Amino acid sequence: MNKKNLPPHDLFDDALAKELIGKSLLIGITNADSEGKMISRSQIFGLVTIADRAKGICLRDNQTNEEKWFPPDTRGIKPAPPGEYRNRATGEVVNDPDYFGSWTWTFPAAKEEKSRKRN
């Protein structure tokens, strides 16, 4: 990614990104359709291994040890208040995560829907 393609500073906070490395992050993901209606929700918990303006944010999933990548956007990441949090999907209990994060993935309308809307 060249400098022209890097996210602006209001999308990616370099200081926060530096703090995230090695910290625990509980992420809530909402999948929405093209009209913004919720399709599903999920959660992922793990340690941040990379937080880079050009590459994005990499989280090593605590359950699977798999690396999951997120866009270079730190706006939805905040310090988490101490406490016990339960992953609704897996039942995993997360104690005192360092940070919370949230992303909404909005899926584009299917090609068939787009052509129907034009006619």
Report strand pairing: 24-32 vs 99-106: parallel
Digit-coded pLDDT (tens) for 7-27? 666 789 999 999 999 999 999
pLDDT tops 70 at residue 115: no
Q: DSSP readout, 36-82?
A: S-EEEEEEEEEEEEEEETTTEEEEEETTT--EEEE-S--TT-EEPPS
In-domain check, residue 42: yes
In-domain check, residue 118: no
How many domains is the chain partitioned into structurally?
1
Host domain of residue 46: 3-107
